Chains A and B, each alone.
Chain A
Amino acid sequence: MRLSKYIFIGILLGLTLYKSEAVSWFRIYEMFHFQSFHMYGIIGTSVIAGILVVQLIKRTHLKSIEGKEIVIQPKDKAYARYILGGFIFGLGWALAGVCPAPMFILMGSGYTVFIVFLAAAMLGTFFYGVARKYLPHNMK
């Protein structure tokens, strides 16, 4: 059960994003045209419910299954990387119509060409790792 429970969580994620059409290039295109509430509804409900869940975890000092207090690691305060990196990610998201979770989901549902997409995404991540010392981050 150590790792298999994560497979179960992944299956829930795959079913959810596939059945809600969030894996569709056309839904992402529609979202960036502000022509439907659908994607904003998905992200909006998950964030609003997520805020409540995180606040409940904090206030009740809920312990994780390992018995440790659940702490959410604060992200570093370096804004150049978030806006620049975010911008580049957004270009790719709107072009490809998928972010990393739908990439895996579509690969599994039979669109094997996403193996090429995964290789390209790994290459992008690798390129970041090699080039990061030359990129602005604003980190102290």
Chain B
Amino acid sequence: MVPQFLLDIKDFISQPWPWYVAGGMITLIMFLLLWLGKDFGMSANLRVMCAADGAGDYSDFFKFDWQSQGWNLMVALGAMFGGYIAAHYFSTPGEEVAHVSAATVESLRNLSPDLNFAEGAVPLIPDFYSWEALFSLRGILVIVVGGFLVGFGARYAGGCTSGHAISGLSALQFSSLVAVIGFFLGGLVMTHFILPLIF
């Protein structure tokens, strides 16, 4: 028998987390990494993986001490475990929804006929995140082109959401503010002008 208080804790964690809890947790993660003498930056892992795969033969950008970055790969591995644990132990099967606003439900309906969800029934994960979707134009654009732009843009800008928007802004770095403005300009152009063309 599992003690009742453990089940209560499980139910408590399984609720959708409010924004202020998530925000506080992200700051805690950033602090823990700083305290351990590291920096919070997930996209740096992509550079480490390229270097470990021998990309240094093609560009000096990948000739660096990538072996010292194993800790960051462990954060990425932990994030995968965290995703597994959240999806398998701290979620209610069949009730994994994104609690988006009524206005968003309406916008999605206008974007594409197959994004026609009842209010409160927008899935957490869209169905174009699947292997089958790779055989459709939408799936290729989202997974392959999206991945390429994220990997290219993050390194060109010297960081992603964790490195610039969280760590950089917390340290009051002006260059991170410029990068975050870039993130939003790109995101707005994609969402408002390009997504309607391809969905």
Contact = CB atoms under 8 A, between A and B. Distances in A.
B35 A82 contact: no
Given A12-B29, A118-B147, A86 B195 contact: no
B79 A14 contact: yes
Interface string A72-114: 1111111101111111111111111111110111111111111
A113 B47 contact: no
Contacts of A64: 34-37
Given A89-B157, A104-B80, A19 B16 contact: yes
A78 B158 CA distance: 11
A65 to B, nearest CB: 5
Interface string B68-101: 0011101111111111111110100000001111
Contacts of A51: 169-170, 172
A72 B164 CA distance: 12
A100 B162 contact: yes
A41 to B, nearest CB: 3
Nearest to A45: B23
Interface string B136-167: 00000111111111111111111111101111
Interface string B172-192: 110110111111111111111
Nearest to A14: B82
Chain A binding surface SS class: helix
Residues of B contacting A: mostly: helix
B87 A110 contact: yes
Interface string B33-51: 1111101001101110110
A10 B175 contact: no
A12 B13 CA distance: 12
B153 A87 contact: yes
Nearest to A113: B131
Given A90-B153, A93-B183, A105 B82 contact: yes
A121 B143 CA distance: 9
A86 B125 contact: no
Interface string A112-131: 11101111111111111110
Given A124-B149, A126-B58, A6 B75 contact: yes
Q: Which 3 A-B pairs have the closest CB atoms?
A: A14-B82, A10-B78, A86-B182
Interface of A: 3-33, 35-39, 41-51, 53-54, 57, 62, 64-66, 68, 70, 72-79, 81-101, 103-114, 116-130, 132, 135
Given A41-B20, A46-B22, A87-B153, 9 more contacts: A14-B85, A19-B13, A46-B166, A64-B34, A82-B178, A90-B186, A101-B162, A126-B55, A132-B61
